[in-house]
Homo-oligomer: A and B are copies of this chain.
Protein backbone atom coordinates (compact mmCIF):
# COMPACT_ATOMS: atom_id res chain seq x y z
CA UNK A 1 0.00 0.00 0.00
CA UNK A 2 1.31 3.42 -0.87
CA UNK A 3 1.26 6.29 1.61
CA UNK A 4 -1.81 8.39 0.81
CA UNK A 5 -0.57 11.95 0.88
CA UNK A 6 -2.50 15.17 0.39
CA UNK A 7 -0.61 18.34 -0.46
CA UNK A 8 -2.66 21.30 0.67
CA UNK A 9 -1.85 24.57 -1.09
CA UNK A 10 -3.31 27.96 -0.41
CA UNK A 11 -3.09 28.66 -4.16
CA UNK A 12 -3.39 32.43 -3.88
CA UNK A 13 -0.13 33.87 -5.16
CA UNK A 14 -0.01 31.30 -7.93
CA UNK A 15 -3.18 32.95 -9.25
CA UNK A 16 -2.37 36.59 -8.52
CA UNK A 17 1.37 36.95 -8.92
CA UNK A 18 3.08 36.49 -12.29
CA UNK A 19 6.44 35.49 -10.84
CA UNK A 20 4.94 32.75 -8.74
CA UNK A 21 2.76 31.59 -11.62
CA UNK A 22 5.80 31.28 -13.87
CA UNK A 23 7.78 29.20 -11.40
CA UNK A 24 4.81 27.04 -10.43
CA UNK A 25 2.38 27.02 -13.37
CA UNK A 26 0.31 24.25 -11.74
CA UNK A 27 0.76 25.66 -8.26
CA UNK A 28 3.34 24.88 -5.61
CA UNK A 29 1.15 22.06 -4.28
CA UNK A 30 1.16 20.31 -7.67
CA UNK A 31 4.93 20.69 -7.97
CA UNK A 32 5.36 19.06 -4.54
CA UNK A 33 2.85 16.31 -5.34
CA UNK A 34 4.51 15.55 -8.68
CA UNK A 35 7.86 15.13 -6.98
CA UNK A 36 6.35 12.85 -4.33
CA UNK A 37 4.66 10.72 -6.97
CA UNK A 38 8.03 9.76 -8.45
CA UNK A 39 8.50 7.72 -5.28
CA UNK A 40 6.67 4.39 -5.68
CA UNK A 41 5.93 4.27 -1.93
CA UNK A 42 3.89 7.47 -2.04
CA UNK A 43 0.70 8.46 -3.81
CA UNK A 44 0.04 12.19 -3.57
CA UNK A 45 -2.94 14.34 -4.52
CA UNK A 46 -3.72 18.01 -3.99
CA UNK A 47 -6.27 20.13 -2.15
CA UNK A 48 -6.64 23.89 -2.18
CA UNK A 49 -8.24 26.70 -0.22
CA UNK A 50 -10.70 27.47 -3.00
CA UNK A 51 -12.40 24.06 -3.04
CA UNK A 52 -15.47 23.39 -0.88
CA UNK A 53 -14.30 22.89 2.73
CA UNK A 54 -10.86 23.66 1.29
CA UNK A 55 -10.77 20.21 -0.30
CA UNK A 56 -10.59 18.53 3.10
CA UNK A 57 -13.94 16.88 3.89
CA UNK A 58 -13.97 14.45 6.79
CA UNK A 59 -14.09 11.44 4.48
CA UNK A 60 -10.94 12.51 2.66
CA UNK A 61 -9.00 13.24 5.84
CA UNK A 62 -9.99 9.81 7.12
CA UNK A 63 -8.16 8.30 4.17
CA UNK A 64 -5.15 10.61 4.31
CA UNK A 65 -2.00 9.15 5.86
CA UNK A 66 0.03 12.34 5.67
CA UNK A 67 -1.08 15.93 5.07
CA UNK A 68 1.34 18.57 3.79
CA UNK A 69 0.42 22.22 4.42
CA UNK A 70 1.56 25.35 2.62
CA UNK A 71 -0.19 28.67 3.26
CA UNK A 72 0.82 32.31 3.51
CA UNK A 73 -1.46 35.15 2.44
CA UNK A 74 -4.78 33.62 3.41
CA UNK A 75 -4.29 31.90 6.77
CA UNK A 76 -7.27 33.81 8.08
CA UNK A 77 -9.55 32.45 5.35
CA UNK A 78 -9.19 28.85 6.48
CA UNK A 79 -12.41 27.86 8.23
CA UNK A 80 -12.14 26.97 11.89
CA UNK A 81 -14.19 23.81 11.42
CA UNK A 82 -11.68 22.53 8.88
CA UNK A 83 -8.81 23.45 11.17
CA UNK A 84 -10.42 21.51 14.01
CA UNK A 85 -10.90 18.51 11.70
CA UNK A 86 -7.24 18.59 10.66
CA UNK A 87 -6.09 18.93 14.26
CA UNK A 88 -8.20 15.96 15.39
CA UNK A 89 -6.96 13.89 12.45
CA UNK A 90 -3.40 14.55 13.63
CA UNK A 91 -4.28 13.54 17.20
CA UNK A 92 -5.81 10.33 15.87
CA UNK A 93 -2.71 9.40 13.88
CA UNK A 94 -2.43 11.38 10.63
CA UNK A 95 1.04 12.71 9.87
CA UNK A 96 1.46 16.44 9.22
CA UNK A 97 4.23 18.29 7.40
CA UNK A 98 4.13 22.06 7.67
CA UNK A 99 6.12 24.02 5.12
CA UNK A 100 7.68 27.49 5.34
CA UNK A 101 5.07 30.24 5.92
CA UNK A 102 2.76 27.51 7.25
CA UNK A 103 4.40 28.37 10.58
CA UNK A 104 1.58 30.92 10.93
CA UNK A 105 -1.16 28.61 9.67
CA UNK A 106 -4.08 27.90 11.99
CA UNK A 107 -3.46 24.14 12.27
CA UNK A 108 0.21 24.58 13.17
CA UNK A 109 -0.46 27.30 15.75
CA UNK A 110 -3.24 25.17 17.26
CA UNK A 111 -0.98 22.12 17.55
CA UNK A 112 2.04 23.97 18.93
CA UNK A 113 0.15 26.07 21.48
CA UNK A 114 2.56 28.95 20.90
CA UNK A 115 2.81 32.13 18.83
CA UNK A 116 5.06 30.52 16.16
CA UNK A 117 6.56 33.93 15.31
CA UNK A 118 9.99 34.69 13.88
CA UNK A 119 11.87 37.45 12.04
CA UNK A 120 12.02 37.57 8.25
CA UNK A 121 13.55 39.29 5.20
CA UNK A 122 12.76 38.79 1.55
CA UNK A 123 16.11 39.49 -0.12
CA UNK A 124 16.85 36.40 -2.18
CA UNK A 125 19.83 35.63 0.00
CA UNK A 126 21.67 32.33 0.31
CA UNK A 127 20.40 29.73 2.81
CA UNK A 128 22.49 26.76 3.83
CA UNK A 129 20.80 23.94 5.71
CA UNK A 130 22.98 21.91 8.07
CA UNK A 131 22.01 18.45 9.17
CA UNK A 132 22.06 18.32 13.00
CA UNK A 133 20.85 14.74 13.45
CA UNK A 134 22.99 12.37 11.39
CA UNK A 135 21.17 9.51 9.71
CA UNK A 136 17.79 10.76 10.86
CA UNK A 137 15.15 9.11 8.63
CA UNK A 138 14.12 12.55 7.39
CA UNK A 139 17.70 13.17 6.22
CA UNK A 140 18.22 9.82 4.49
CA UNK A 141 20.35 10.19 1.38
CA UNK A 142 21.09 13.86 1.99
CA UNK A 143 24.52 15.47 2.25
CA UNK A 144 25.76 17.02 5.51
CA UNK A 145 24.64 20.41 4.19
CA UNK A 146 22.94 21.85 1.12
CA UNK A 147 22.27 25.30 -0.23
CA UNK A 148 19.39 27.27 -1.67
CA UNK A 149 20.89 30.20 -3.53
CA UNK A 150 17.81 32.39 -3.17
CA UNK A 151 15.53 32.17 -0.19
CA UNK A 152 13.58 34.31 2.19
CA UNK A 153 15.30 34.62 5.54
CA UNK A 154 13.59 33.37 8.70
CA UNK A 155 15.42 34.26 11.90
CA UNK A 156 15.42 33.18 15.54
CA UNK A 157 13.83 33.33 18.02
CA UNK A 158 11.29 30.93 16.52
CA UNK A 159 8.25 30.90 18.82
CA UNK A 160 7.70 27.15 19.07
CA UNK A 161 8.03 24.63 21.93
CA UNK A 162 11.36 22.85 22.23
CA UNK A 163 11.03 20.00 19.72
CA UNK A 164 11.56 16.28 20.17
CA UNK A 165 14.40 16.49 17.66
CA UNK A 166 16.17 19.22 15.72
CA UNK A 167 17.02 17.82 12.28
CA UNK A 168 18.21 20.90 10.38
CA UNK A 169 19.54 24.34 11.29
CA UNK A 170 19.86 27.05 8.62
CA UNK A 171 22.62 29.60 8.03
CA UNK A 172 21.64 32.80 6.22
CA UNK A 173 23.89 35.09 4.23
CA UNK A 174 22.60 38.16 6.04
CA UNK A 175 23.78 36.84 9.40
CA UNK A 176 20.80 34.97 10.90
CA UNK A 177 20.22 31.34 11.89
CA UNK A 178 17.02 29.29 12.14
CA UNK A 179 16.05 25.85 13.40
CA UNK A 180 14.65 24.78 10.05
CA UNK A 181 13.70 21.13 10.60
CA UNK A 182 11.86 20.21 13.81
CA UNK A 183 9.90 17.12 14.89
CA UNK A 184 6.91 17.02 17.25
CA UNK A 185 4.25 14.57 18.31
CA UNK A 186 0.68 15.56 19.17
CA UNK A 187 -1.49 12.64 20.17
CA UNK A 188 -0.73 9.77 17.78
CA UNK A 189 0.31 12.12 15.00
CA UNK A 190 3.88 12.96 14.03
CA UNK A 191 4.56 16.52 12.87
CA UNK A 192 7.52 17.88 10.93
CA UNK A 193 8.13 21.57 10.32
CA UNK A 194 10.40 22.34 7.36
CA UNK A 195 11.44 25.93 6.71
CA UNK A 196 12.30 26.46 3.01
CA UNK A 197 9.78 27.38 0.35
CA UNK A 198 9.21 31.07 -0.37
CA UNK A 199 6.91 31.30 -3.36
CA UNK A 200 8.99 33.67 -5.50
CA UNK A 201 11.91 31.20 -5.66
CA UNK A 202 12.05 27.73 -7.27
CA UNK A 203 12.66 25.98 -3.92
CA UNK A 204 10.24 23.09 -4.48
CA UNK A 205 12.02 22.22 -7.72
CA UNK A 206 15.21 21.59 -5.70
CA UNK A 207 16.17 17.91 -5.49
CA UNK A 208 17.33 18.06 -1.88
CA UNK A 209 14.18 19.83 -0.74
CA UNK A 210 12.08 17.23 -2.58
CA UNK A 211 14.08 14.47 -0.91
CA UNK A 212 13.48 15.92 2.56
CA UNK A 213 9.74 16.13 1.96
CA UNK A 214 9.52 12.57 0.63
CA UNK A 215 11.53 11.29 3.59
CA UNK A 216 9.31 13.23 5.96
CA UNK A 217 6.19 11.67 4.45
CA UNK A 218 7.56 8.20 5.20
CA UNK A 219 8.70 9.22 8.67
CA UNK A 220 5.30 10.76 9.54
CA UNK A 221 3.26 7.82 8.29
CA UNK A 222 1.62 5.84 11.09
CA UNK A 223 0.18 2.67 9.53
CA UNK A 224 -2.00 1.82 12.53
CA UNK A 225 -5.76 2.32 12.34
CA UNK A 226 -6.80 5.86 13.25
CA UNK A 227 -7.86 6.33 16.91
CA UNK A 228 -11.62 6.77 17.14
CA UNK A 229 -13.27 9.26 19.49
CA UNK A 230 -9.90 10.77 20.12
CA UNK A 231 -11.16 13.38 22.62
CA UNK A 232 -13.20 11.00 24.76
CA UNK A 233 -12.57 10.87 28.52
CA UNK A 234 -14.25 7.61 29.51
CA UNK A 235 -15.50 6.90 33.00
CA UNK A 236 -14.30 3.62 34.51
CA UNK A 237 -17.02 2.43 36.91
CA UNK A 238 -16.08 1.02 40.29
CA UNK A 239 -17.61 -2.30 39.27
CA UNK A 240 -15.17 -2.74 36.41
CA UNK A 241 -12.03 -1.56 38.20
CA UNK A 242 -9.12 -3.88 37.49
CA UNK A 243 -8.38 -4.24 41.20
CA UNK A 244 -11.24 -4.77 43.65
CA UNK A 245 -12.19 -1.47 45.27
CA UNK A 246 -15.29 -0.20 46.99
CA UNK A 247 -17.00 3.14 46.61
CA UNK A 248 -15.82 5.43 49.42
CA UNK A 249 -16.35 9.04 50.44
CA UNK A 250 -18.63 11.73 49.04
CA UNK A 251 -19.43 11.86 45.32
CA UNK A 252 -20.11 14.54 42.78
CA UNK A 253 -21.17 12.31 39.91
CA UNK A 254 -23.89 9.70 40.07
CA UNK A 255 -23.28 6.29 38.52
CA UNK A 256 -23.34 6.38 34.72
CA UNK A 257 -23.07 10.15 34.53
CA UNK A 258 -20.80 11.80 32.01
CA UNK A 259 -17.89 14.00 33.16
CA UNK A 260 -17.52 17.71 32.47
CA UNK A 261 -15.66 18.92 29.41
A residues engaging B (CB < 8 A)? 13, 17, 19-20, 72-76, 87-88, 91, 93, 101, 104, 110-115, 117-125, 128, 130-137, 140-141, 144-145, 150, 153, 155-159, 161-166, 169-177, 179, 184-188, 198-201, 222-224, 227, 230-238, 241-243, 245-253, 259-261
Residues on the B chain within 8 Å of A137, using CB: 222, 224
Residues on the B chain within 8 Å of A87, using CB: 113
A249 close to B140 (CB less than 8 A): no
Contact of A171 among B158, B177, B251 (CB under 8 A): B177
Q: Enumerate 10 A-B pairs (CB-CB under 8 Å) in ascending A order.
A: A87-B113, A110-B113, A113-B186, A117-B230, A117-B233, A124-B248, A133-B157, A137-B224, A161-B161, A166-B179
Instruction: Tell me the number of copies of this protein.
Output: 4
A175 in contact with B171 given A73-B260, A134-B227, A248-B150 (CB within 8 Å): yes
- Write the chain B residue with the least CB distance to A129: B177
Residues on the B chain within 8 Å of A157, using CB: 130-134, 144
A231 close to B155 (CB less than 8 A): no
Residues on the B chain within 8 Å of A162, using CB: 133, 163-166, 185
- Write the chain B residue with the least CB distance to A184: B161
A153 to B130, CA, bound (A): 14
Residues on the B chain within 8 Å of A159, using CB: 91, 134, 187, 230-231
A232 in contact with B112 given A245-B174, A248-B125 (CB within 8 Å): no
Residues on the B chain within 8 Å of A261, using CB: 75-76, 104
A188 to B167, CA, bound (A): 12
The 3 nearest A-B residue pairs measured at CB? A124-B249, A175-B242, A124-B248
- Write the chain B residue with the least CB distance to A19: B250
A231 close to B115 (CB less than 8 A): yes
A249 in contact with B201 given A134-B227, A232-B117 (CB within 8 Å): yes
| CB of A243 to closest CB in B, whole Å | 4
- Write the chain B residue with the least CB distance to A118: B233
| CB of A85 to closest CB in B, whole Å | 14
| CB of A147 to closest CB in B, whole Å | 8
